[in-house]
Amino acid sequence: MNDRFLKACRREPVDATPVWFMRQAGRYMAEYRTLRQKYSMLEMCRTPELAAQVTLQPIKLGVDAAILFSDILIPLEPMGAPVEFAKGEGPVIARPVRTAKDVETLRVIDPEESLGFVFEAIRMLRKELSVPLIGFAGAPFTLASYLIEGGHSTNYLLTKKLMFSDPACWNDLMARLAEVVRRFLRAQVAAGAQAVQLFDSWVGQLSVDDYETLVAPHVRHILRDLETTGVPVIHFGTGTSALLESMTRAGGTVIGLDWRVRLDEGWARVGHDHAVQGNLDPASFTAPREVIHQRAADVLRRAGGRPGHIFNLGHGLFPEAPVDEVRALVDFVHEFKHA
């Protein structure tokens, strides 16, 4: 069993820096594209055999962890808000949630009952994998933004309208989401996930004070409880240069850093009593190998060989990433020697 990743989460010394990639199971791999021609995104998420198969695809690239193939929006349908993945348009929520009445219809589900396919995939994967398996969920703000906007947004106007105009309704929505996410992550751990990542991908749209007041308490509800399971929790967002201290206080064993902040400066702000994950700009894969490796070396040098660094991108792999370069980067990270 390769346990570099789990050791780094616990800030224990490792023989080489562990590396995995957000969206490492995805369209950049030919095997994935082949399966996606036969099955829809939702079919793949909901069929344990397919989810497990896709999860395994990138392992041969040499990564030190697997992340369950799924989607952060998966819990929304059983809650009462069906999601469609329209081709090339991203997710669409047919009936967006915008009023107190809409919020009241959202069920605080028991994931064991309605999301059994996720746990089944986890159990299958644990029998196959020689690297740790990461479970995950979307964080309440990011989920709420999809629910309210009805899909992806550029300005989050409707989300912020609810936050700013009706904080009681907002907090009701966030509390329902947070409790579902808490149960969902706990159940993933119970099924065998050896770490979990909370994706608050769009939280960087908020001011520090709005985050502290209207988001952090709900994140804390989830992460305080998860900490008692003993599995590492990665707390991730993008555009969070102003939020690192607040996100760290909200919880997490490992804090995700995006590429906008220098890794050493971000780690100092998070505090060396936490591990960090990141933070190569995913657009680096548009460059020639030599440049990718120079840029990765800069990240590694900033980590300085301090125990507790997990190499990753600052956000997910793009479909345009060349698979050979992904593989070569894994090797480069593993072979990197700190001076």
Shortest CB 31 distance to its own copies, Å: 23
Question: Is residue 220 a contact point for its own copies (CB under 8 A)?
Answer: no
Question: Is residue 228 a contact point for its own copies (CB under 8 A)?
Answer: no
Phi-psi region of 150 (alpha: psi -120 to 50; beta: other; left: phi over 0): left
Q: Crossing angle, helix 140-149 and helix 216-227, to 10 degrees?
A: 130
Question: Is residue 293 a contact point for its own copies (CB under 8 A)?
Answer: no
Contact indicator for 50, 41 with CB cutoff of 8 Å? no
Identified binder of its own copies from the candidate list 41, 100, 283, 323, rule CB under 8 A: 283
CA gap 127, 13 in Å, rounded? 27
Q: Crossing angle, helix 48-56 and helix 30-38, to 10 degrees?
A: 160
Question: Is residue 204 a contact point for its own copies (CB under 8 A)?
Answer: yes
Question: Is residue 88 a contact point for its own copies (CB under 8 A)?
Answer: no
Q: 298 Cβ partners below 8 Å, 6+ apart?
A: none
Q: Pick out residues in 229-258 that bind its own copies (CB under 8 A).
A: 239, 241-243
CA gap 43, 203 in Å, rounded? 28
Contact indicator for 242, 276 with CB cutoff of 8 Å? no
Question: Is residue 262 a contact point for its own copies (CB under 8 A)?
Answer: yes
SS3 (DSSP) at 66: strand
Q: Which residue, 84 or 281, has its beta carbon nearer to its own copies? A: 281
Q: Which two tokens stand for residue 281?
A: 């700009």
Number of shown-chain residues binding its own copies (CB under 8 A): 35
- Please choose, from the candidates 81, 75, 55, 52, the residue with its C-alpha nearest in 3D space to the C-alpha of residue 67: 55
Question: Is residue 326 a contact point for its own copies (CB under 8 A)?
Answer: no
Identified binder of its own copies from the candidate list 17, 188, 277, 284, rule CB under 8 A: 284
Q: What angle do CA 223, 142, 121 make, to 5 degrees?
A: 70
Quick one: which segment of 9-17, 138-146, 175-183, 198-206 binds its own copies (CB under 8 A)? 198-206
Question: Is residue 161 a contact point for its own copies (CB under 8 A)?
Answer: yes
SS3 (DSSP) at 134: strand
Question: Is residue 289 a contact point for its own copies (CB under 8 A)?
Answer: no
Contact indicator for 139, 251 with CB cutoff of 8 Å? no
Question: Is residue 148 a contact point for its own copies (CB under 8 A)?
Answer: no
Active-site amino acid positions: 23, 27, 36, 71, 146
SS3 (DSSP) at 12: coil
Question: Is residue 86 a contact point for its own copies (CB under 8 A)?
Answer: no
Quick one: which segment of 28-36, 66-74, 159-167, 170-178 binds its own copies (CB under 8 A)? 159-167
Q: Which residue, 7 or 295, has its beta carbon nearer to its own copies? A: 295
Q: Which residue, 128 or 164, has its beta carbon nearer to its own copies? A: 164
Question: Is residue 286 a contact point for its own copies (CB under 8 A)?
Answer: yes
DSSP 3: -
> Would you mind telling me the total number of residues written for the chain in this entry?
339
Question: Is residue 213 a contact point for its own copies (CB under 8 A)?
Answer: no
Shortest CB 206 distance to its own copies, Å: 7
With b meaning 16 or more CB within 10 Å and e meaning fewer, what string describes 263-300? beebbeebeeebbbbbbbbbebbeeeeeebbebbeebb
Identified binder of its own copies from the candidate list 12, 43, 128, 298, rule CB under 8 A: 298
Shortest CB 313 distance to its own copies, Å: 12
Question: Is residue 164 a contact point for its own copies (CB under 8 A)?
Answer: yes
Identified binder of its own copies from the candidate list 113, 288, 335, 339, rule CB under 8 A: 288
Residues binding its own copies (CB under 8 A): 155-158, 160-161, 164-165, 204-210, 239, 241-243, 259-262, 281-284, 286-288, 291, 295, 298, 318, 320
